[in-house]
Structure 1
């Protein structure tokens, strides 16, 4: 009888615990969708602001530089904020910073100032860095440790959903479908040309004001919702350990591979619309919808990749998917017409598993040095700030040939493939 009572009490506590964590987990999962929207709207902003602010390709790529450099700068401060203020308050801080950057799009558009746009994006990047640093571990601890991986995968799937939704939203509410050649712009009267630029810039205001308002409402929800107190387990990382992990080849090569992977992903999406316009002669709105299909395939690839891991090792899956991505990138460079768009869209499916797989291989077998290794792998996302600018510069140098520019992600995939082939799962002591 006593055993049955104890079992009943245990089941009751489990049920109560699940209910206690449900609403907080729903709110945290919403954060994954919101920062996914911000990232994937950048792929719309790059071609759009190129028109509105009359930019070169390399200048337009500073959108990525602003956001991902903010991640690099905020990597360590975000950790300090989490230790100082805890999960709840850090999430609220991140949301408010994110919202502040979104609202800054209004004066940027009103003044037709690319510099203010870049400042707004940098501030958004700072907010995203705080949110990601906080929300990922919080989702992991909201429940049983045995199901932490499933919770993170579920939350991350909403990030993939945003990759599909954001381009469709951007195509409908930001992209105008109007684009003039340099000669046509030069032939316009100055007032007419300025009116065109102002109209293009103004289209970003409503979506970002709505985004900022949603962020404020979510911040208020977090403020008033009682979140369960879950123990944080901050670990101090010795400076010696922080740098000594570079002796492990799977980590040092993994940091390089992650740098190039993130750069490849950002390059492909940032110039996707212009590639579709130039390579397949589709209008920018239609190109935006195809970018949404890319996002759908990216999300699908995560589910398929997770399933295939039952039969293949992480290293073999990375080799297989990277080889296909490399071939598709080559097809996009050499192809013509809609084959270019189909090749680019399909790359999303094969890129989907690269970040988590490289991450897992990079920290494999490192034991108590895993925290230091993880920090290096997170910092390597600065590739998303550097390589798209290099790609934009190459496109400008090649006379605005977008297809030539895709040599940059092609080289990135070669590096990732080399890591899968020679660097994954092997450490040198």
Structure 2
């Protein structure tokens, strides 16, 4: 990668600006968790229909990542970030007619457009963080972004509850069923209209961010042929880079187990009659933040990106085995780890689900620099392929749910995560080093 004199300046300003963008990623993405039960009420949906919120959001990454990479190639990375924010702003505006009509299809279309903007934003910003400084510390920089991203995820439910639900009283299905048709229709309309102001605020905030990115001193990155390994200087397609294709599969596996660890822990806790099952996702999130902090402190000073990836895969595999075979009644592990703090403890099996967050936290920041190393002008396309791996968050949890339904055993269904971690281990040991599809 050739860099202009401007690129050689301090990376502090770019880190701050991209950090703001990662906060937006987290806020918009984790907002889905609050929207699902909310839209289930106001659009009068069943559980299966409500889950199309997640489908509409993540399917955009699958279908729009490659087209957006070609746009990014034309616009450049700085302008691409601004364009992504502009598309997100349009998606925010689309939620206004959706709220006015309480039309679920409008909401899904708005979510798809929002995610399309996020797709180009992520396709631009992740390689930006990789290349804005020394490649040896890229995982550390992405870990910082991960802490910011997950912090937004912690704030979203609080903000949503305060802004949207405060003063509305009881909106449970039982209460709605007790109202007459006119009362119920009025309450649902009032609830829907409450979404308008937050999305107007989101629209305005995105416009401000467009100006921040567009008119800041954010340096442009120039990926040219000089960034390509000499061995690979005859390659003409991103598909000729095995480390990118395999990296996308590794991220597919990672995002799948990330969503499983965060979104099924409450269901599993409920099946075991854990008192605080509704808030169990916070345990996984806290452990993920701790994992990112480990990356910030230790990479590359004490461990390499490759070593971090190996450790994550092995630790994740042990967590899966722990979930499957440890006690569902004893809280001995949680007693040791945080029982002294006064925070409610969990049965050992559920504790291992939460610990998956710590185990795999460094997968995302470690795969990116390993996958993008030496691909030069193909960086935008490579980044798009990696972004497409996010679709694992939509597909693998469904596989988990189907297996759980078929077996009637949630605990054993976590075996879905074992091949995921094993593939990540393969990528750490072999896959990221593959420069050709021909095995020697």
Query: TM-score, length-normalised on structure 2?
Result: 0.73
Which of 12, 18, 26 does residue 36 from structure 1 map onto?
26
Q: 1:86, 1:111 → 2: CA distance? A: 38
TM-fit CA distance, 1:347: 3.5
3-state secondary structure, aligned to 2:429: coil
Per-residue CA distance 1:387-420 (angstroms, 9 max, x = gap): 345556678x68xx9x966766x13311123325
Q: 1:110, 1:369 → 2: CA distance? A: 45
Question: In the alignment, what sits opposite 1:197?
Answer: 188
CA contact (8 A) 2:255 2:393 kept: yes
Change over 3 Å in CA distance of 1:305–1:412 after alignment to 2: farther
Which moved further from structure 2: 33-42 or 294-303?
294-303
Question: How many residues are paired up?
Answer: 402
3-state secondary structure, aligned to 1:54: coil
Q: 1:204, 1:276 → 2: CA distance? A: 31
Question: In the alignment, what sits opposite 1:105?
Answer: 95
Which of 311, 318, 322 does residue 316 from structure 2 map onto?
322
Determine whether 1:381 maps to 2:381.
no
Question: In the alignment, what sits opposite 1:426?
Answer: 430
Change over 3 Å in CA distance of 1:60–1:239 after alignment to 2: farther
Determine whether 1:159 maps to 2:111.
no
Per-residue CA distance 1:253-291 (angstroms, 9 max, x = gap): x6544323312323443456666677545596xx3xx54
Question: In the alignment, what sits opposite 1:411?
Answer: 415
3-state secondary structure, aligned to 2:54: helix
Q: 1:54, 1:237 → 2: CA distance? A: 56
Which moved further from structure 2: 103-112 or 331-340?
331-340
Q: 1:307, 1:271 → 2: CA distance? A: 30
Query: TM-score, length-normalised on structure 1?
Result: 0.75
TM-fit CA distance, 1:95: 0.7
Per-residue CA distance 1:116-167 (angstroms, 9 max, x = gap): 1111111111011111111223344445667655544433432232233223
Q: 1:207, 1:33 → 2: CA distance? A: 17
3-state secondary structure, aligned to 2:262: helix
3-state secondary structure, aligned to 2:44: coil
CA contact (8 A) 1:319 1:417 kept: yes
Matches within 5 A, 1:11-160: 18=9, 22-142=12-132, 150-160=140-150
Question: In the alignment, what sits opposite 1:339?
Answer: 346
Determine whether 1:219 maps to 2:210.
yes
Bigger share in helix: 1
CA contact (8 A) 1:102 1:124 kept: yes
CA contact (8 A) 2:260 2:397 kept: yes
Question: In the alignment, what sits opposite 1:350?
Answer: 359
CA contact (8 A) 1:71 1:129 kept: yes
Change over 3 Å in CA distance of 1:46–1:354 after alignment to 2: farther
Which moved further from structure 2: 105-114 or 232-241?
232-241
Determine whether 1:180 maps to 2:172.
yes
Matches within 5 A, 1:216-295: 216-233=207-224, 242-243=238-239, 252=246, 255-270=248-263, 279-282=273-276, 287=279, 291-292=281-282, 294-295=284-285
Q: 1:52, 1:332 → 2: CA distance? A: 41
Q: 1:335, 1:238 → 2: CA distance? A: 59
Which moved further from structure 2: 334-343 or 266-275?
334-343
Q: 1:45, 1:186 → 2: CA distance? A: 21
Q: 2:96, 2:411 → 1: CA distance? A: 33
CA contact (8 A) 1:302 1:353 kept: yes
CA contact (8 A) 2:130 2:369 kept: no
TM-fit CA distance, 1:330: 4.3
3-state secondary structure, aligned to 1:339: coil
CA contact (8 A) 1:95 1:127 kept: yes
CA contact (8 A) 1:67 1:385 kept: no
Per-residue CA distance 1:344-385 (angstroms, 9 max, x = gap): 544422331233445567x49998999687654432222223
Question: In the alignment, what sits opposite 1:7?
Answer: none
